[in-house]
């Protein structure tokens, strides 16, 4: 009887838990040596769509602590055959926000050529001014790289 009471309490007295799940807005870019081309991708152009900073809403299962930067690529390179390298050139604090490998936009955002970068913003970046230069380089299937484009990412601290 005690076991039954304990089981009932466990089943009905526990709270519902939700976990945060945000998908990164990029995928690895697979270069191919079989795609023989000497062409070099055109220099890209990009803009910041939005910057959202994380905050603590008191709910450990929510995504409120996630920082999110959305970047849109504007160029003439073929969307499905061009990868991109992202590198922070002047602020080590935010350098881990961006992947170290060459990536392509996620299949969910590929037609828009939009990249979504997510990080835990309640750690060392919390309440820090976000201001850095992001270098973006287009990469062809064969591994040829364009001239880098520099994009200013900026948002004041909260």
Residue 64 has pLDDT above 60, yes or no: yes
Tens of pLDDT, residue by residue over 123-134, are 777 778 889 999
Residue 138 has pLDDT above 60, yes or no: yes
Number of domains in the chain: 1
Domain that holds residue 129: 2-155
H/E stretch holding 52: strand 45-52
What is the CATH number for 76? 2.60.40.10
What's the confidence (pLDDT) of residue 150? 98
Give CA torsion, residues 49, 119, 57, 114, to 10 deg.
20
What's the confidence (pLDDT) of residue 24? 78
Radius of gyration of the chain measured on its C-alpha atoms? 21
What's the confidence (pLDDT) of residue 145? 95
Tens of pLDDT, residue by residue over 8-49, are 444 455 444 455 667 778 999 988 776 667 789 999 999 999
Tens of pLDDT, residue by residue over 67-76, are 889 999 999 9
Residue 2 has pLDDT above 70, yes or no: no
């Amino acid at each position: 009887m005690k076991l039954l009471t304990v089981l009932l309490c466990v089943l009905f007295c526990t709270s519902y838990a939700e976990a945060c799940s945000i998908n990164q807005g990029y995928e690895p870019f697979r270069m191919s040596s079989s795609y023989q081309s000497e062409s070099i991708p055109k220099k890209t152009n990009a803009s910041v769509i939005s910057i959202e900073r994380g905050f603590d809403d008191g709910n450990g299962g929510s995504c409120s602590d996630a920082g999110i930067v959305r970047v849109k690529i504007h160029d003439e390179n073929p969307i499905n055959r061009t990868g991109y390298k992202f590198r922070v050139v002047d602020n080590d604090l935010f350098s881990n926000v961006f992947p170290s490998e060459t990536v392509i936009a996620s299949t969910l955002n590929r037609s828009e050529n939009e990249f979504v970068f997510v990080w835990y913003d309640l750690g060392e970046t919390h309440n820090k001014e976000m201001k850095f230069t992001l270098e973006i380089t287009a990469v062809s299937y064969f591994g040829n790289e364009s001239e880098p484009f520099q994009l200013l990412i900026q948002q004041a601290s909260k």
